[in-house]
Structure 1
């Protein structure tokens, strides 16, 4: 179904780079990233966490490489991962060289912060030799001293100037496989910086509101900041930075993309906030369904409404719907049409089976069309 004009998002045109086998920018789907929080020097724990993120749908994962123990373990992690691995490097240029040799698909490093021109040359040469991309990561909390002195405080202009300085170091060495982030914990600052940067560069942009906070507050803050930029057409890859588990960051990232109609993965739930009219416990039902349906990757929609006021209207627009009725008996809608009733005790299990069957039906149809 084509988007209505007031829903249309015209994405900023950027050139495309490859992070491993994942295209970023140039019209490729907006990718969702996260970062592990296990010691990278513990490959088993890190791989276990990566698996959970992969199950949640992550496209790219970043791991921190602060020491030689971490880069020594990186090769094993890269080989085990099913998605590209970004090595997070700060200041220690030799860690970047080791990470590139270990198979990292991308180096997160600011070339202006690693010292001499010779060191920058070594990192760029290692990236070229190993097919690594580079992510320049400007952060309002760690701006260069000269820029803070020039502008007096972190501001959009300072973040953009920092990014351009780092970009020039790569371009002067004929390296163009890079993406850029200009993050801040102040969402107004971050959004303004991204808007300004988008006007003057053609590289892919990595979006994020850094140090956004805990699960609830950080989700709200990130959704406003990242969501507004995506709505404006800016952004090629995103990371939701939460004080929460990495797989939760992935799920929130996909929810942002789903809400904007940019990318769909899994079940989009439409549910009411519940009130005294509800025919069943909407809150607990939705919580249970979201937990039970995390394994569904096929894009589809499910409406869960507690009564018949808005229930039938919402159900007409979703693949599967349920509205609360009297005496513990509720109406089930399939493809927008009333189909049958289900009792309270059987409702959650019944809906899970309907969603799984619908997902299998959609997948089979897609495979048949592709054959």
Structure 2
């Protein structure tokens, strides 16, 4: 069992973050917030994919005024992403937003900060302090040689935290994101040693699917493996639903959450006598519509297939003209190769519906 760093728990809507609560998955809409039908449709897609919390951009008052309609149309907690203008924070708080992403030090006017904090306290709405390496204060950058070092990022976060703590506000979540993986890992590690607020992990501006998935998996995964992190967002250029899928796979790979099926397939070798790539792709497609956390193995040969995939709930191992269907390392039956996929799908369907309808 992976040991997690103990943090102060907060709640965004009904979703708990920190303490020993499950690590949640977040994403952000890329629709115009004022386009309510498009934003609602995207939020529903994110929720269906397994997203626990959704952030929306609030660049102006029109977007802030759309929050009430959005809240009435979706069930997932919503976070307002706000920069500089405290009046936008007040407006979304009045319209039922579940959390804010706003840096108090960037508001400038102390009375504005106090107004936001007072309203957030009254409504028990948490605030995320989000530090990005690319937007650090110039004076702070100069102190650290003009570079967005991990130490500079942590100092920036601590300055924002101090402002909130002096106003007796402690429902805080912190993120320290860079698009450089080592910088991000170091910043979060340092922060975890200096404060016990929950941490929102991510690699900012990670890129497209091809590169962004790798950077996010390495950075977020390395931190989670150390027990650091309470909620995650994978930042990718494109459909945000893909962010949720990748985040879920990261958590699954570390045994931190269960999100639907897991496919195990071997890389193939000279012993393989079946079209394993084609079979694995078809099985992956089959598993997309299944929610139950089952493990399915597609192995290339009978020499060590059942043994190497003994933890799989169900699996196949290819042979010459025939293949094996196995479960938990035990061979169930030998079937002709043309029937291998059909038999596997039949067993998957049994597992997927097992227990349904029982009292």
Tell me the TM-score normalised to structure 2 length: 0.94
Other-structure match for 1:124:
117
The one of 296, 303, 306 aligned to 1:312: 306
Distance 1:337 1:299 in 2: 20
Distance 1:236 1:32 in 2: 9
Matches within 5 A, 1:197-276: 197-276=191-270
The one of 318, 329, 342 aligned to 1:324: 318
Preserved CA contact (<8 Å) 1:38 1:46 = yes
Distance 1:200 1:123 in 2: 25
Distance 1:120 1:47 in 2: 30
Distance 2:47 2:346 in 1: 24
Other-structure match for 2:179:
185
Q: Cα offset for 1:314?
A: 2.8
1:141 paired with 2:134, answer yes
Distance 1:348 1:137 in 2: 48
Q: CA RMSD in A?
A: 1.8
1:73 paired with 2:63, answer no
Question: Residue 168 of structure 2 aligns to a residue in which SS?
Answer: coil
Question: Residue 66 of structure 2 aligns to a residue in which SS?
Answer: helix
Deviations 1:6-31 (A, max 9, x none): xx421101110001000000000111
Distance 1:347 1:330 in 2: 6
Q: Cα offset for 1:131?
A: 2.5
**Structure 1 residues 310, 246: closer, same or farther in 2, change over 3 A?**
farther
The one of 71, 91, 94 aligned to 2:87: 94
Question: Residue 157 of structure 1 aligns to a residue in which SS?
Answer: helix
Distance 1:247 1:264 in 2: 17
Deviations 1:216-241 (A, max 9, x none): 21111111111110111100000111
Tell me the TM-score normalised to structure 1 length: 0.91
Distance 1:78 1:288 in 2: 38
Preserved CA contact (<8 Å) 1:298 1:363 = no
Distance 1:41 1:97 in 2: 18
Distance 1:99 1:133 in 2: 13
How many matched pairs? 358
Preserved CA contact (<8 Å) 2:318 2:337 = no
Deviates more, 1:273-282 or 1:226-235: 273-282
**Structure 1 residues 216, 350: closer, same or farther in 2, change over 3 A?**
farther
Other-structure match for 2:333:
340
Distance 2:275 2:354 in 1: 29
Other-structure match for 1:4:
none
Other-structure match for 1:60:
53
5+ residue gaps, structure 2: none
Other-structure match for 1:288:
282
Question: Residue 269 of structure 1 aligns to a residue in which SS?
Answer: strand
**Structure 1 residues 68, 310: closer, same or farther in 2, change over 3 A?**
farther
**Structure 1 residues 352, 82: closer, same or farther in 2, change over 3 A?**
farther
5+ residue gaps, structure 1: 1-7
**Structure 1 residues 57, 125: closer, same or farther in 2, change over 3 A?**
same
